[in-house]
Amino acid sequence: MSPLLRIENLSVTFATRAGPIEALRGIDLTVGAGQTLGIVGESGSGKSVTAFATTRLLDRAGRIAGGRILFKGQDVSRLSGKEMQALHGAAISMIFQNPRAALNPIRTVGLQLADALRAHRDLSAAAARARALDLLKAVLIRDPERRLDAYPHELSGGMCQRVMIALAVACEPALLIADEPTTGLDVTTQKTVMDLLARIAAERGMAMILITHDLGLAAKYCGRVVVMERGRLVEEAAPGRLFAHPQHAYTKRLVAASPTPNSTLADLVGETRPAGSGIPAAPHPAPPRGTALLLEVQDLVKRYGNAAAVDGISLRMRPGESLGLVGESGSGKSTTSRLICRLIDPSEGTILFDGQSIGDVPARDFHRSELRRAIQIVFQDPNDSLNPRFSAFDSIAQPLKRLTGLRGAALRARVMESAERSGLGPDLIDRFPHQLSGGQKARIGIARAIAVRPRFLILDEPTAALDVSVQAMILHLLDLLRREDDLAFLFVSHDLNVVRMMCERTIVLQNGRVVEEGASETLFARPQSAYARELLAAIPHFDPGAPLAATA
Amino acid sequence: MRTSLGATTGRAARRLLSSAPALIGVLVFTFLLMRVLPGDPAVFFASGPNAGQAEIEAVRKQMGLDRPIPEQLLRYLGDVGTGQLGRSMTTGQPVMKDLRERLPASLELTFAALLIALTLSIPLGILAALRPGSAVDHGVRLLCSLGVCVPTFVSGLLLIYVFYYLLGFAPDPTGRLDVFAAAPPGITGFLLIDFALTGDWEGWRAAAAQLVLPAVTMALFVIAPLARITRASMLAVLGSDFIRTARSLGLSRTQIVVTYALRNAILPVLTIAGIVFSTMLGANVLVEKVFSWPGVASYALDALLSSDYAPVQGFVLLMAVIFVAVNLVVDLLYGLADPRVSIS
């Protein structure tokens, strides 16, 4: 029996100003009816290009340069626009990253579902609406009757992705391609969305291609996984075998760099730690008791209108300590970090830094405070947090000039020193953000923060936008800097494994309140609150012997 | 639609209220501007060039111009508050009455021009956006450039020359209606509407024929901004994620372009159309002059040339009010077109 999808020697090139770029260099893969294939790899590996080439949704600049894409024996790459339109949705569907942007913002969910249905079936408006309601029920949306008339902006990200799933399966396609379907969603939402997707695919006998950078996700939901690197397939196997005994050097690196419940920072970068590494993640010796507190936050509240984003949070940190702040989106972790670093003003509560009250200095004026130098922040998005018209040097030098008054040679020396300590070579220092990779931009953000020699660094999801191998290096770097400068870290992240490795103590937030607090090791090994347990259980792992949720 | 009628009305009322200070500012500013401009109305409106000093003084006193400026301003504001815009020295009629007679002419012309401009520029913008860099795109760009480059009085005269003088398709380019034709009863002042209401289709056709050339002249001038913004906005929307989703679901091309892309892309076009409308209404004085159109802009120009304060001040106030109203309408349309616009 011929497989549902067979890709033979497919290559894709993109026309750019700098000449053609080969995004895919001859890949072969097959997916049988009802099977689930995972494609993993880092950004630029060509995994999304594979999906878009298969569905013929490549950008204008992209072109299939060679090879065949056989869907049910028919070469998709040679079909006309009309023929392709008949396949889209009815035979091959896609689910995209960033579900909110993937939905038409000014059309109701019900109408969009009806559009998808009526594109391939002869249905009356009323029948389409009834069918849309069934679909919303099938993707387990609460209160589906009301949601039919909702606009995407009225739904949460997880809800939007469920709607997207409903759209994709509306006309019962034989193949569903999910391109990073849960990136940007919380772990618990990720779990419900993925479980739903796996169940729907299984129920309807659909084959699925899951494209992801998260090895745990691929391991949990796929019967077979292929690894891509720079436009080529480097390895293909069942996930258990692939992740337990990776053969290719790249797969080995990728597997090593992915945080797991037991990995240490040293594991991630493939470093063999000197003797005595028996204790995982003991990054810093606890400072002696009785040291004066560096930070003391009491009953912090931040209200927006009637809703409290932060609802009475108290926490304390000693100098040189690292504290993790975890929770789902909307738990108030980012707001808390912004309140503490004085970018926004609290509605209530006190913030003491080094014994001085800083909560009552308006955020607008805090840049003039002596303590601005002491408290620095590294932002989440390395792209949006850099001025595109500033070179790396300018980005690092600007705050230095303001906060320390350094000029001329002294300024240059300090910038170069910070850049070098952050792993940014002197050859990169005059480049602009668009000439740098994500990891290099993240390093600028770090260099900028440590250049003024702060005592307290707030890290707001510093690696969320990075590939795992880059993340591993950045985490390692941050840990090193912390030891060298005796910095205190407030580490905000949704990735619990990362927090466990980076932080001695962890605070779990939910709805703006602290639900659990404790030493990271104990908290992650034996969570006390139901919420923390739920968060931990939702992380997809790739244990070699783990049973598969969806077997193909 | 979530926006309840009450909320929308409330929002409209708030917007109107918040524009009151701006309107008063406009009043004071024009008042002062008119006093600063050279030219003495008293001299102008005295019986003739050889009027004696005594006569001029008498006229000045009669017009209240002998009083201190602040007092004049207060009187003026008081008059405006009671709905009086003064009397035109040129026509001898109250400014309010003049404006009311002439505004429909200008509005009708501007609406017609905007309608023509939109029906041409939106499809052109869409065509250009669907194939960026193609011959169609360049053709549209050329057309737009021409429209902007050629001044309205030149294109107006050119159209008259071709369609009236050479081909004879168009009627006399003088005013809203042929001098011998019977005007409809003044119901709304909009000739097309009034003729339609009375069922006089002969008259309707005549009025429309008079309207076409000036409206096209004005439309040519504003096609460019509208087509360009349509193109830019369509390009942005066509590249967005939800268009890709629509394609991945196999929606038809028409549905993708019209229902998904255009409806999203129309929002910025709406804003520009509002601005264009307000600009056209005031700036079409050249077109009104070329076609002897009895509109408010040419009325204000004549008044300005003869140092007749009241009509100019009245005209500026009218424009300000229309600008506020147009912005309000655009705002409300935005609320209808985009559910994300909050009702705050």
Q: Which residue does chain B place closest to A116, by CA atoms?
A: B249
Helices (H), A380-456: 392-404, 408-421, 438-451
**A502, pLDDT greater than 60:** yes
Taking residue A416's Cβ as centre, other Cβ atoms within 10 Å add up to: 16
Q: What are phi and psi of B183, to 5 degrees?
A: -75, 150
Under the banding of pLDDT at 50, 70 and 90, the label for residue B207 is: confident
Q: Residue A104 and residue B337: Cβ atoms within 8 Å?
A: no
Q: What is the mean pLDDT of chain B?
A: 84
Beta strands A36-40 and A513-519 are unpaired
A535 lies within 8 A of chain B by CB: no
Rounded CA separation B227/B273 (Å): 11
Beta strands A295-304 and A375-378 are unpaired
A103 lies within 8 A of chain B by CB: yes
**A200, pLDDT greater than 80:** yes
Mutation test of the interface with chain A: which of B134, B245, B336, choosing the one with the most A Cβ atoms within 10 A? B245
Q: How many CA atoms lie within 13 A of B248 on its CB side?
A: 33
**A47, pLDDT greater than 50:** yes
Q: Residue B250 and residue A85: Cβ atoms within 8 Å?
A: yes
A168 lies within 8 A of chain B by CB: yes
**A410, pLDDT greater than 80:** yes
ipTM for this model: 0.80
Q: Which residue does chain B place closest to A151, by CA atoms?
A: B339
Mutation test of the interface with chain A: which of B242, B243, B342, choosing the one with the most A Cβ atoms within 10 A? B242
Taking residue B82's Cβ as centre, other Cβ atoms within 10 Å add up to: 6
Under the banding of pLDDT at 50, 70 and 90, the label for residue A287 is: low
Q: Which of residues 181-210 of A touch B (CB under 8 A)?
A: none
Mean pLDDT of B274-283: 85
Q: Residue B246 and residue A104: Cβ atoms within 8 Å?
A: yes
B35 vs A411, residue with greater confidence: A411
B45 vs A529, residue with greater confidence: A529
Q: What are phi and psi of A303, to 5 degrees?
A: -110, 140
Nearest C-alpha neighbor of A166 from the set A549, A158, B237, A214: A158
B240 lies within 8 A of chain A by CB: yes
Q: Residue B244 and residue A96: Cβ atoms within 8 Å?
A: yes
Structural domains of chain A in order of their starting residue, each with its CATH number: 5-258 (3.40.50.300), 294-374+455-511 (3.40.50.300), 381-453 (no CATH)
Residues of A in contact with B252 (CB under 8 A): 85, 119
Residue B48: per-residue pLDDT: 63
Alpha carbon separation from A356 to A155, A312, A362, B49 (Å, rounded): 42, 20, 14, 82
Residues of B in contact with A102 (CB under 8 A): 241-242, 244-245
B251 lies within 8 A of chain A by CB: yes
Task: Of A223-237, A318-332, B164-178, give the lowest mean pLDDT range.
Answer: B164-178
Q: What is the DSSP string of A129-198?
A: HHHHHHHHHHTT-SSHHHHTT--GGGS-HHHHHHHHHHHHHTT--SEEEEESTTTTS-HHHHHHHHHHHH
- Structure token digits, residue A545: 């012997």
| Degrees to nearest 5, angle at CA B116 with B111 and B118 | 90
Residue A149: per-residue pLDDT: 92
Rounded CA separation A330/A311 (Å): 12
Relative orientation angle of helices B191-198 and B95-130, to the nearest 10 degrees: 100
Q: Which of A486-490, B199-203, B284-288 has the highest mean pLDDT?
A: A486-490
Nearest-CA distance from A86 to chain B in Å?
6
Mean pLDDT of B245-249: 94
Q: Residue B340 and residue A106: Cβ atoms within 8 Å?
A: yes
Residues of A in contact with B241 (CB under 8 A): 96, 98, 101-102
Instruction: State the count of interchain CB pairs (< 8 A) between A and B.
Output: 83
Q: Residue B242 and residue A90: Cβ atoms within 8 Å?
A: no
DSSP element (H, E) containing A266: helix A265-268
Residues of A in contact with B251 (CB under 8 A): 85, 89, 115-116, 119
Nearest residue, CB atoms, A106 vs list B245, B246, B337: B337
- Structure token digits, residue A451: 């250049």
Residue B70: per-residue pLDDT: 84
Rounded CA separation A227/A218 (Å): 10
Q: Is residue B87 helix, strand or coil? A: strand
Q: Residue A106 and residue B241: Cβ atoms within 8 Å?
A: no
- Structure token digits, residue A504: 């001695």
Q: Residue A88 and residue B249: Cβ atoms within 8 Å?
A: yes
B56 vs A294, residue with greater confidence: A294
Nearest residue, CB atoms, A119 vs list B242, B244, B251: B251
Rounded CA separation A374/A309 (Å): 26
Mean pLDDT of A503-526: 92
Rounded CA separation A244/A263 (Å): 14
Q: Is residue A11 helix, strand or coil? A: strand
| Degrees to nearest 5, angle at CA B229 with B223 and B234 | 120
Helices (H), B83-190: 95-130, 135-149, 152-159
**B52: which residues sit within 8 A by CB, 6+ positions away?**
none
Q: Residue B260 and residue A107: Cβ atoms within 8 Å?
A: yes
B341 lies within 8 A of chain A by CB: no
Under the banding of pLDDT at 50, 70 and 90, the label for residue A227 is: very high
B252 lies within 8 A of chain A by CB: yes
Nearest-CA distance from B252 to chain A in Å?
7
Mutation test of the interface with chain A: which of B249, B253, B257, B333, choosing the one with the most A Cβ atoms within 10 A? B249
A139 near A163, Cβ under 8 Å? yes
Of all residues in chain B, what percent carry a pLDDT higher than 90?
21
A386 near A433, Cβ under 8 Å? yes
A367 vs A548, residue with greater confidence: A367
**A308, pLDDT greater than 80:** yes
Residues of B in contact with A57 (CB under 8 A): 244, 247-248
Residues of B in contact with A98 (CB under 8 A): 241
**A543, pLDDT greater than 80:** no
Task: Of A34-48, A161-175, B21-35, B329-343, give the lowest mean pLDDT range.
Answer: B329-343
**A279, pLDDT greater than 60:** no
Rounded CA separation A355/A352 (Å): 5
CATH class of B103-337: mainly alpha
Under the banding of pLDDT at 50, 70 and 90, the label for residue A6 is: very high
Under the banding of pLDDT at 50, 70 and 90, the label for residue A128 is: very high
Nearest residue, CB atoms, A57 vs list B242, B247, B260: B247
Rounded CA separation A91/A113 (Å): 16
- Structure token digits, residue A341: 């670093």
Nearest C-alpha neighbor of B265 from the set B117, B129, B138, B116: B129
Rounded CA separation B184/B196 (Å): 10
Mean pLDDT of A376-398: 90
Question: So where are chain B's domains?
Answer: 103-337
Of all residues in chain B, what percent carry a pLDDT higher than 70?
93
Please report, to the nearest 10 degrees, the dihedral formed by the alpha carbons of residues A456, A461, A464, A466 taken in order: -10
Nearest-CA distance from A231 to chain B in Å?
23
B119 lies within 8 A of chain A by CB: no
B86 vs A547, residue with greater confidence: B86
Nearest C-alpha neighbor of A331 from the set A189, A433, A152: A189
Q: Which residue does chain A place closest to B132, by CA atoms?
A: A60
A504 near A286, Cβ under 8 Å? yes
Task: Of A72-81, A196-205, B65-74, give the lowest mean pLDDT range.
Answer: B65-74
Under the banding of pLDDT at 50, 70 and 90, the label for residue B192 is: confident
Q: Residue A104 and residue B244: Cβ atoms within 8 Å?
A: no
**A514, pLDDT greater than 70:** yes
Residue A256: per-residue pLDDT: 87
